[in-house]
A and B are shown apart, each in its own frame.
Chain A
Amino acid sequence: MEKPHRPLSPHLQIYRPQITSVLSILHRFTGMGLILGLGVMAWALLALSCGAPSYESFRSFWPTFMGLGLRVILVTSLFYHFFNGVRHLFWDAGQGLDLKSVKASGWFVVVASAVGTILYLIF
């Protein structure tokens, strides 16, 4: 089959960052970050099934520097993806699609996920 030579749309760095585009790409980045969470879930269950000593070594990972970093990535990603996901569901239902609402809900997501992440990690 002949390879189609189609024009390429400009890459992300061409555009001036806006709240709409930045939040959109963040949804994908945090979604990819959460794939790590799936691995952690499988790891936890596997460690649990292998008995007390392996569960203990799973637990001892989290207070380490790496463990703390992973926890920050996972919790941040989860809170952001969760709130922005709700925003997407409203859009899919046809709600809040005008520019003013999109910007307002975007800032709400930023504040809510920042507050949620900090509160969850501290308390």
Chain B
Amino acid sequence: MSKKAHRRSFIAKASGNGLAPWWAQRLSALGLLLLIPWILFQLKSHSFDTHDHVMHWIQSPFNATATLMLVGLSFYHGYLGLRVIMEDYVSNHGLRLFLTILTKFLFIALSLLCAFIIFHLTLGSAHVPSL
């Protein structure tokens, strides 16, 4: 191995962020293995035709918890997958860094928004004012 290649592989190892996201991707997949059939079944068995109906559904503690889990795991899983794709296909180092960080913030913000809404719908007393 050349000195330069050795230094590169050393840097890759030192950054140490290969295994953790790999595991996180699989563990979130395992959770989604249960949650996806659950939500597909819910969408089929309830009509969700009126606002009242959905409010009633989400205010059940089990449905609210499972929906929160679904939001958290699916956004996490999606972020990790998108990051791998960007790491594979965006060759410009600066652009790749920019895109991965942007995606991270965007996904954190959107999943927090979803979680906030679920808490508000289940625990809050008033509608969120229109945006």
Main secondary structure of the interface of B (DSSP, over half): helix
Tell me, rounded to whole Å, the shortest Cβ–Cβ distance linking B120 to chain A. 6
Establish whether residues A48 and B58, one from each chain, have CB atoms under 8 Å apart when the complex forms. yes
B66 at the interface (CB under 8 A from A): no
Partner of B29, one of A41, A51, A85: A85
Give chain B residues whose Cβ lies under 8 Å from the Cβ of A96.
Answer: none
Tell me, rounded to whole Å, the shortest Cβ–Cβ distance linking A77 to chain B. 12
Report Cα–Cα, A54/B117, bound state, in Å.
15
Give chain A residues whose Cβ lies under 8 Å from the Cβ of B113.
Answer: 42, 45-46
Given the known inter-chain contacts A41-B74, A49-B127, A51-B51, please indicate yes or no for A82 contacting B117, CB distance below 8 A.
Answer: no
Report Cα–Cα, A38/B109, bound state, in Å.
12
CB within 8 Å of B: which A35-65 residues: 35, 37-39, 41-42, 45-46, 48-52, 54-56, 59
Establish whether residues B29 and A38, one from each chain, have CB atoms under 8 Å apart when the complex forms. no
Interface 1/0s, chain A 66-84, versus B by CB < 8 A?
A: 0000000000001000100
Establish whether residues A38 and B82, one from each chain, have CB atoms under 8 Å apart when the complex forms. no
CB within 8 Å of A: which B19-59 residues: 26, 29-30, 32-33, 36, 40, 44, 48-52, 54-55, 58
Establish whether residues A45 and B114, one from each chain, have CB atoms under 8 Å apart when the complex forms. yes
Number of A-B contacts (CB under 8 A): 79
Residues of A within 8 A of B (CB-CB), count: 30
Give chain A residues whose Cβ lies under 8 Å from the Cβ of B50.
Answer: 52, 55
Give chain B residues whose Cβ lies under 8 Å from the Cβ of A37.
Answer: 74
Establish whether residues A48 and B55, one from each chain, have CB atoms under 8 Å apart when the complex forms. yes
Report Cα–Cα, A42/B70, bound state, in Å.
12
A34 at the interface (CB under 8 A from B): yes
Report Cα–Cα, A51/B127, bound state, in Å.
6
Partner of B54, one of A41, A48, A82: A48
Establish whether residues A78 and B110, one from each chain, have CB atoms under 8 Å apart when the complex forms. no
**Contact surface of A with B, Cβ cutoff 8 Å:** 28, 31-32, 34-35, 37-39, 41-42, 45-46, 48-52, 54-56, 59, 78, 82, 85-86, 88-89, 92, 120, 123
**Contact surface of B with A, Cβ cutoff 8 Å:** 26, 29-30, 32-33, 36, 40, 44, 48-52, 54-55, 58, 70-71, 74-75, 78, 81-82, 85, 107, 110, 113-114, 117-118, 120-121, 127-128, 130-131
- What are 8 A-B contacts defined by CB distance under 8 Å? A38-B75, A42-B114, A45-B117, A48-B51, A50-B127, A51-B51, A120-B44, A123-B44
